[in-house]
Amino acid sequence: MRLKTLELNGFKSFSRKTVLEFSHPIVCVVGPNGSGKSNVVEAIRFVLGEQSMKSMRGKLGADLIFKGSQKLPKGSRASVTIYFDNQNKAFKLSNDAGEPVNLNFDTVSLSREVYPDGLNKYILNGSEVRLRDINNLLASVNIGSSGHHIISQGEADRILSANPKERREMVEDALGLKIYQYRIRDSLRKLEKTEANMKEVSMLRRENAPHLNFLKKQMEKLEKAKEMQTELATLYREYLKKESVYLENEKKILSTEKEKLTSENKKISAQLSDIPEDNSKVGGEKIAELRSTEEKINETRKLKNEMGHKLGRIEGMIEIEEERQSQEPKALILSREEVKSILDEINNSIDAAMGKENIGEIRTILQQIKLILDKFNKKEERQGDMFSLEALKKNQKEIADEIKKIEEGELKLSKAVEALKLAINREMESLRDKEKEKFSLKVRQQELSSALELLQMREANVSKGEELFQNEIREGQALIGEAIVSYKEFQIEGKIEEANQVETRKKIERLKIKLEDAGAGGGGEILKEFREVSERDAFLAKEMGDLEKSVTNLEEIISGLKEKVDQDFEAGVKKINKEFAEFFSILFGGGTASLNILEERKRQEPIFDEEGEVEEKEEEDAPSEKGIEIKVSLPHKKVKELQALSGGERSLTSIALLFAMSQVNPPPFLVLDETDAALDEANSRKYGDMLEKLSKHSQLIVVTHNRETMSRAGMLYGVTIGPDSASKLLSVRFEEAVVIAK
Ligand code: ATP
């Protein structure tokens, strides 16, 4: 890394574009008083990001812009650009997250512009950047912002007059520890931000807490309700399944029963309609037959009787005849009565025959009549023996045969009567059975209609039960949702006990009431809100954790960096002291000088002991800040206090220290504005030697009136101010420079 060029445009007295090349290790700027040499030094301060207007001898940004003169107009802005050779890629830049930014330029150019309104622009290789970026960039090449490498006019002993803390900053800067300080500062800023975020997060969490608690309680309630829902669902599954099975069974049973009852009823109705209402005709034909048969028997008996009579008479006649024959035959004398009886007999027989339709009967009667007539005829023939015994006996036999025949017929008829009676009885008997049957059918019919009525009642109960079942499903659905239908999958084990169902039903009702009280509705919204709020809280808690982690992390980084700074600082101070003592001894021809690190206790609290004495007690964890104290001991002099040194001695001491610091950690360049002003000839030579020594590691830009110093420069610029009140720069030879400088 090397300083290449400085370009001024409208900056202070440099109204025109002015370019300084730094192509030699020591470049001197010479010129008369007020020509603008210090403006060049200030241009370097300016472009490197100097914020103190005082150190650039101005009050406002506008003071840095060319003010104009009688011949020249004032500038619209002041602009300075500095070019660095960056072929070794020494410049490093990191973004806010600490990641490196690609800075692959062979030449790094930094520009700063200031406008009349005080606006500043910082430009890195053509891109506008922030002051922070400039500071970080420069710190990476050991160009600190404390300006220890730019010693303005009359400022050489600034390090002597500064307080211990300021001195420490300068030394740290010179040691290149500024970059760590920046990092510490960045980390502290991050820490501050993180802590602010933590505060905000914990505030948000605190704000959320009551709502979250409320939601948690609601969730607990919901959880309980959910438990109840689960319990209800379990109860419902079994209960509804059993209920549905019961109803289904009941329906089946009822329908089978109904079918049975109805078909029996139909059958009975059919049976009843089969039994005739009027039973008088039952057996009518047989009874008529019975009557006629009985009549026939009567007639047969009558005939038999008559025949019996006849037979008796004939047998009487036979007796008489046999008696008469045994006695003397007697003459047959018929009395009128006898004739009349014969005639009547015939007459009656004819009457009887006339009443008959049956030819057989009529014939029988006609035969009787013939017999009567034959008998009378025989009586006539015999005249004495009118009726022969033989004829009588023949007749007797005939009649007896006839009677026999009649008796046979009678027997037949009697048998027929018996059979008829039996048949009629049987018929009558059967008629009585039908009545009984009719009665019992009617009784059964009555029973059946009662049973059917009962069945209808049960059917009504079942459909009422089904209605209730559907209602239950609807109510259950409102409470446990679609899970209600899962009862269908329930497997029933064992019998369905009515008592158990009643018990379950009670439990279900109790749960329903409880659930309705708990207000299970709106659970979804609460859950959603609870999820949102608790997710947010969890997010915040996680963020809090992350923030806590990054606080720890940052604190570790900070303490690590501080430790590093402390260590490097102590080691650096040691090295500086070595050089300081050497330079001091060269300049003063002896004596000693050193830097001492001071432990500056920030917080000290007075503590009173038992005797009331004040006891200074160090706070153990109170942060301490180290300062720097300068101790000098001049040769042959007892003076040790800085204040007691002469102007020249102060100047020499400052130079010794500045050069020592630059020697330990050489800055890329060092700007010295008339640091040599107070030196006598001998010291000027020593100063010149020291410049040459320093120039081996750092480029030197030296503003001087000192001839000795000029003689050490490889390149000389003369600054003059023309009649137009603008500074003019020209490259000059040593001899010219000596002239110009006067
Ligand atoms: P010395 O050798 O006495 O220290 P010098 O060469 O360092 O002098 P400077 O202090 O750099 O001189 O220059 C100061 C000059 O710059 C003054 O003449 C001053 O008027 C001029 N100057 C300062 N600011 C402006 C400005 N904004 N516009 C024009 N000229 C300015």
Q: Is 383 left (phi over 0), alpha (psi -120 to 50) or beta?
A: left
Instruction: Give the residue whose CA is nearest to atom 22 of ligand 1.
Output: 13
Greatest mean pLDDT among 13-27, 208-222, 336-350, 595-609: 13-27
Ligand 1, atom 21: closest residue by C-alpha: 13
Assign domain 282-430 to a CATH class.
Answer: mainly alpha
Give the total residue count for the chain: 742
- Residue 120's pLDDT band (boundaries 50, 70, 90)? very high
Which ligand 1 atom lies nearest to the CA of residue 31? Answer: 6
β-partners of residue 14 are 11
Tell the residue nearest (CA) to atom 27 of ligand 1: 12
CA of 705, closest atom in ligand 1? 2
Nearest to 317 by CA among 259, 385, 263: 385
Q: Angle formed by the axes of helices 164-174 and 523-588, to 10°?
A: 90
- What value does the mean pLDDT take over residues 247-274? 90
Cα of 82 vs centre of ligand 1, distance in Å, is: 20
Q: In this structure, what token pair is assigned to residue 520?
A: 């299970």
pLDDT in the model for residue 423: 85
The vertex-541 CA angle with 538 and 544, nearest 5°, equals 150
Contact in structure between 235 and 507 (CB atoms under 8 Å): yes
Q: What's the CA-to-centroid distance between 11 and ligand 1, angstroms?
A: 11
Output 612 or 535, whichever has higher pLDDT: 535
pLDDT at residue number 384: 47
Give the pLDDT score at 368.
82
State CA 71 to chain mean position distance.
Answer: 82
* Euclidean distance between CA atoms 312 and 392, whole angstroms: 11
Residue that the structure tokens 């003071």 belong to: 63
Q: Whose CA is nearest to atom 25 of ligand 1?
A: 12
The pLDDT confidence band at residue 380, using thresholds 50, 70 and 90, is low
- Quote the ligand 1 centre to 725 CA distance (angstroms): 10
pLDDT tens-digit series, residues 179-207: 788 788 888 998 999 999 999 999 999 99
| Ligand 1: nearest atom to the Cα of 64 | 27
Q: What is the pLDDT of residue 622?
A: 46
**Closest ligand 1 atom number to CA of residue 40:** 11
- Helical packing angle, 647-664 and 523-588, nearest 10°: 120
How many angstroms is it from 148 CA to the middle of ligand 1? 22
Which SS3 state, helix, strand or coil, does residue 601 take? strand
Structure confidence at residue 506 as a pLDDT band (50, 70, 90): confident
Backbone φ and ψ of 494, nearest 5°: 80, -170
- Rounded Cα distance, 23 and 3, in Å: 8
- Whose alpha carbon is nearest atom 4 of ligand 1? 33
Give percent above pLDDT 70 in the chain: 91
Q: Name the β-bridge partners of 598.
A: 627
Q: What is this structure's pTM?
A: 0.56
How crowded is residue 506: how many other Cβ atoms within 10 Å of its Cβ?
Answer: 10
Determine the distance separating the centroid of ligand 1 and the alpha carbon of 52, expressed in angstroms: 18
At residue 604 the predicted structure's pLDDT band, cuts being 50, 70 and 90, is very low
Ligand 1 atom at shortest distance from the alpha carbon of 703: 7
pLDDT average, residue stretch 208-235: 87
What is the rounded CA–CA span in Å between residue 9 and residue 465? 105
**Residue 316 to residue 313: CA distance in whole angstroms:** 5
Comparing C-alpha atoms, which of 123, 119, 117 is closest to residue 81?
123
Structure-model confidence comparison of residues 550 and 527, the more confident one: 550
* Pair of tokens at residue 671: 């700007």
Residue 484 has a pLDDT of: 87
pLDDT > 60? residue 615:
no
Separation between Cα atoms, residue 558 and residue 92, nearest integer Å: 21
Residue 14 confidence (pLDDT): 95
- The pLDDT value given to residue 299: 84
Q: Are strands 604-608 and 107-114 parallel, antiparallel or unpaired?
A: unpaired
Is a pLDDT exceeding 90 seen at residue 129?
yes
What's the whole-number mean pLDDT along residues 331-338? 66
The per-residue pLDDT for 619 is: 46
Which residue's C-alpha comes closest to atom 11 of ligand 1? 36
From the CA of 35, give the closest atom in ligand 1: 6
pLDDT of residue 373: 81
Between 684 and 647, the higher pLDDT residue = 684
Reply yes or no on whether the pLDDT at 620 is more than 50: no
- The larger pLDDT score, comparing residue 663 to residue 612, is at 663
Nearest CA to ligand 1 atom 26: 12
Q: Which residues pair with 370 in a beta bridge?
A: none
Ligand 1 neighbours (beta carbon < 6 A): 12-13, 31, 33-39, 63, 66-67, 153
**Per-residue model confidence (pLDDT) at position 73:** 92
Considering only CA atoms, which residue is closest to atom 24 of ligand 1?
12
Residue 607: pLDDT over 60: no
Residue 266 confidence (pLDDT): 92
Calculate how far, in angstroms, residue 727's C-alpha sits from the geometric centre of ligand 1. Answer: 8
DSSP state of 487: G
What integer is the mean pLDDT of 225-246? 89
Q: Which atom of ligand 1 is nearest to the CA of 65?
A: 27
Residue 121 has a pLDDT of 96
Atom number in ligand 1 closest to CA 66: 28
Residue 102 has pLDDT above 60, yes or no: yes
Q: Is residue 220 predicted with pLDDT exceeding 80?
A: yes
Q: Report which protein residue has its CA nearest ligand 1's atom 30.
A: 13
Q: How does the average pLDDT of the chain come out, rounded?
A: 84
3-state secondary structure 283-352: CHHHHHHHHHHHHHHHHHHHHHHHHHHHHHHHHHHHHHHHHHHHCCCCCCCCCHHHHHHHHHHHHHHHHH
**Out of 69-73, 74-78, 83-87, 169-173, which region has the weakest mean confidence (pLDDT)?**
169-173
**How many whole angstroms from 708 Cα to the centroid of ligand 1?**
24
For residue 521, the 8-state DSSP code is T
Q: Is the pLDDT of residue 460 over 60?
A: yes
Give pLDDT, residue 280: 54
State the alpha helices, DSSP H only, in 118-177: 131-139, 158-161, 164-174
* pLDDT at res. 70: 87
- Cα(62) to centroid of ligand 1, in Å? 15
The DSSP secondary-structure symbol of 494 reads S
- Given the CA of residue 74, which atom of ligand 1 is nearest to it? 28
In the chain, CATH 3.40.50.300 covers: 1-143+667-742
DSSP string, 73-118: PPPS-EEEEEEEE-TT----EE-TTSPEEP---SEEEEEEEE-TT-
- Pocket test of ligand 1: the residue of 16, 35, 72 to mutate, having most ligand atoms within 8 Å of its CB, is 35
Which residue from 29, 38, 703 has its CB within 8 A of the most atoms of ligand 1, so it is best to mutate? 38
Distance 29 CA to ligand 1 centre (A): 14
CA of 73 to the centre of ligand 1 (A): 17
Q: Which of 692, 740, 646, 742 minimizes the C-alpha distance to 157?
A: 646
Neighbour count for residue 441 (Cβ, 10 Å): 18
Question: pLDDT at residue 128 above 90?
Answer: yes
Residue whose entry in the numeric block shows the structure tokens 């406008």: 115
Atom in ligand 1 nearest the alpha carbon of residue 41: 11
35 alpha carbon to ligand 1 midpoint, in Å?
6
Residue 182: enclosing H or E segment and its boundaries?
A: helix 178-274
The arithmetic mean of pLDDT across residues 534-558, rounded, is 91
d(CA 431, CA 617): 141
Residue 332 confidence (pLDDT) above 90: no
Q: Which of 28, 39, 676 for mutating ligand 1's site (highest number of atoms within 8 Å of CB)? A: 39
Average pLDDT over every residue of 336-363: 82
In this prediction, residue 283 carries a pLDDT of 63
Cβ proximity of 109 and 51 under 8 Å: no
Contact between 635 and 617 under an 8 Å Cβ cutoff? The reply is: no
Going by their DSSP bridges, the two strands 18-21 and 614-618 should be labelled as: unpaired
Residue of the nearest CA to atom 1 in ligand 1?
33
Distance 297 CA to ligand 1 centre (A): 189
Protein residue with least CA distance to atom 31, ligand 1: 13
Mean pLDDT of 545-551: 92
Instruction: Quote the pLDDT of residue 511.
Output: 84
Range in 281-285, 500-504, 730-734 the model is least confident about = 281-285
Q: Tokens in use for 680?
A: 């006598």
What DSSP element (H or E) covers 703?
A: strand 699-703
> In angstroms, what is the span from residue 701 Cα to ligand 1's centroid?
18
Q: What pLDDT was estimated at residue 303? A: 83
Q: Work out whether the CA dihedral 285, 287, 290, 292 comes out positive or negative.
A: negative
Q: Architecture of 1-143+667-742 per CATH?
A: 3-Layer(aba) Sandwich (3.40)
Cα(40) to ligand 1 centroid in Å equals 10
What was the pLDDT predicted at 155? 75
- For residues 226 and 590, the answer to whether their CB atoms sit within 8 Å is no
Place of tokens 């200031």: 114
Domain with CATH 1.10.287 in the chain: 282-430
